């Protein structure tokens, strides 16, 4: 059943390969090759969590150090696909413990480290951008608050001004008031004139 699964795998019929590997495991539980190859079939189908579990199980079951290294290498690949770069780095390092000279694992480890560094830098950049945005928002809110305060002060001034303008007279009213004041002033002057007027020289007729 495992060999049949391998044939399907070579033909890129990964679902059929998976089914064959599972049948093999039903016949012989924890058969290392079937466990490992089942992980490969799941990986090819984009089921990276399921595949990673199979490779972890294979790493425990396999006795050969090179094969163990391959299992950890594939665990690293699953983590890379999930963009879990820190886990990928750990898995590749574990693989190199069992096979220190594996060039593919060394390359993947370097790549995972670079992605991890970029990821951390991006997170830091986003954090800095958020802090800057928050600070800008605080500054803008403060400016808006100051502007409202100033507008409030100006508004009061306007209200006072409007109250003042409410008492202003129209042109006609002003003219009538001016005429009335003139008339009143004229009357006052006339009264004053009567009080202060010198008596006219009386023609005295003497009775000689």
> Other C-beta atoms within 10 Å of 91: how many?
29
DSSP labels for 106-118? HHHHHHHHHHHHH
- Return the structure tokens found at 133: 């945005």
Q: What is the pLDDT of residues 51-64, one digit of tens each?
A: 999 999 999 999 99
Residues 114, 116, 120, 123, CA torsion sign: positive
CA dist list (Å): 98 to 67, 108, 114:
9, 15, 23
Asked if residues 51 and 21 have their Cβ atoms less than 8 Å apart, the reply is: no
Q: What is the pLDDT of residues 177-203, one digit of tens each?
A: 777 777 766 666 665 555 444 433 333
Whole-model pTM over 0.85: no
Q: What is the set of domains in the chain, with CATH numbers?
A: 2-110 (1.25.40.10)
Asked if residues 76 and 59 have their Cβ atoms less than 8 Å apart, the reply is: no
- Return the structure tokens found at 45: 């189908």
């Amino acid at each position: 059943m495992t060999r049949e699964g391998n044939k399907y795998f070579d033909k890129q019929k990964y679902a059929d390969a998976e089914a064959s590997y599972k049948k093999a495991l039903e016949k012989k539980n924890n058969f290392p090759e079937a466990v490992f190859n089942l992980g490969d079939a799941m990986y090819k189908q984009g089921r990276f969590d399921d595949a990673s579990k199979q490779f972890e199980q294979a790493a425990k079951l396999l006795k050969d150090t090179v094969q163990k290294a391959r299992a950890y290498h594939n665990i690293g690949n699953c983590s890379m696909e999930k963009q879990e770069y820190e886990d990928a780095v750990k898995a590749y390092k574990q693989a190199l413990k069992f096979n220190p000279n594996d060039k593919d694992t060394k390359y993947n480890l370097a790549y995972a480290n670079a992605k991890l560094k970029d990821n951390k830098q991006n997170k830091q950049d986003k954090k800095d951008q958020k802090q800057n945005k928050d600070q800008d928002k605080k500054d803008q809110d403060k400016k808006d608050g100051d502007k409202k305060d100033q507008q409030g002060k100006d508004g009061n001034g306007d209200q006072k001004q409007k109250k003042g303008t409410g008492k202003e007279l129209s042109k006609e009213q002003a003219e009538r008031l001016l005429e009335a004041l003139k008339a009143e002033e004229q009357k006052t002057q006339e009264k004053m004139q009567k009080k202060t007027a010198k008596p006219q020289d009386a023609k005295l007729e003497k009775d000689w």
